[in-house]
Amino acid sequence: MVAAKPRAQRPGATRTNDPERTKADILAVASQEFAESGYSGGRVDEIAERTKTSKRMIYYYFGSKDGLYQAVLLEYYAKLRGAEAELHLEGQPPLQAIQRLIEFTYDWHITHADGVRLVMVENIHRARHLSALPSIEPVNSKVIQLVESMLARGVTEGVIRKGVNALDFYLSIAALCYFSVSNRYTINAIFGYDMGASENFAARRGAILEMLLRSIAP
């Protein structure tokens, strides 16, 4: 007949027979889609189309759009916590460790814009999906305790002033690093400055680092 194109699947869809690969494939595409368009704006059809498998598999593996989105979130946080753990800050001198943490946090956000967008989306939804996660263990972070011990050591060593609250300090690190990515577009529209442009990376990184370190100096 004519232009009747019922989202048919690709004829040569290779039957993977590798559930883990299939799931990872779906997850990767879904992550992009949700990061790009939000939860409501994300289309299951679209995800299915860009996936090597069919739409039915999404439901087979993830149950629902909601389930898929949760899986995407979980994967993002697991990856982030994994990277944090790799830092091995415990053994390092406090100031150096703190500097490393700030730089890592900045670099992570800059290189994981999609993740930042997922977090934005999730906050729009008041962390509904995150809270509904069966196990938040992979999401939980020990970073606060870590910062606490680093600050304490720094105070002892006389390189950090007394009275810095670890939670407050970490939230400030997160805020400053996150904002560069999260608000890139509105800031650019209003102030004509693209925080996300690569030529501005280093400067903004330095400014954030300096501000944070000065704020805890003795």
Partner DNA sequence: CATGAATGAGGATTCATTCAT
Partner DNA sequence: TATGAATGAATCCTCATTCAT
- Confirm or reject binding of residue 104 to its own copies (CB under 8 A): no
Please select the residue that binds its own copies; options are 2, 91, 162, 198, rule is CB under 8 A: 2
- Confirm or reject binding of residue 182 to its own copies (CB under 8 A): yes
Judged by CB under 7 A, the number of residues near DNA is: 33
Please select the residue that binds its own copies; options are 13, 83, 85, 174, rule is CB under 8 A: 174
Please select the residue that binds DNA; options are 65, 109, 112, 129, rule is CB under 7 A: 65
3-state secondary structure the chain: CCCCCCCCCCCCCCCCCCHHHHHHHHHHHHHHHHHHHHHHHCCHHHHHHHCCCCHHHHHHHHCCHHHHHHHHHHHHHHHHHHHHHCCCCCCCCHHHHHHHHHHHHHHHHHHCHHHHHHHHHHHHCCCHHHHHCCCCCCCCCCHHHHHHHHHHHHHHHCCCCCCCCHHHHHHHHHHHHHHHHHCHHHHHHHHCCCCCCHHHHHHHHHHHHHHHHHHHCC
- Confirm or reject binding of residue 111 to its own copies (CB under 8 A): no
Is-contact 47 58, C-beta < 8 A? yes
In the region spanning residues 126 to 145, those forming contacts with its own copies, defined by CB under 8 A, are: 126-136, 139-141, 144
Q: Cβ 121 to DNA, closest distance in Å?
A: 13
Q: Which does 106 bind (CB under 5 to 8 A by kind): DNA, its own copies, none?
A: none
- Confirm or reject binding of residue 179 to its own copies (CB under 8 A): yes
- Confirm or reject binding of residue 22 to DNA (CB under 7 A): yes
Binding mask 53-92 for its own copies (x = CB under 8 A): -------xxxxx-xx--xx--xx-x---------------
Q: Packing angle between helix 65-85 and helix 55-62, nearest 10 degrees? A: 70
- CB nearer its own copies, residue 145 or residue 156: 145
Binding mask 141-170 for its own copies (x = CB under 8 A): x--x--------------------x-xx--
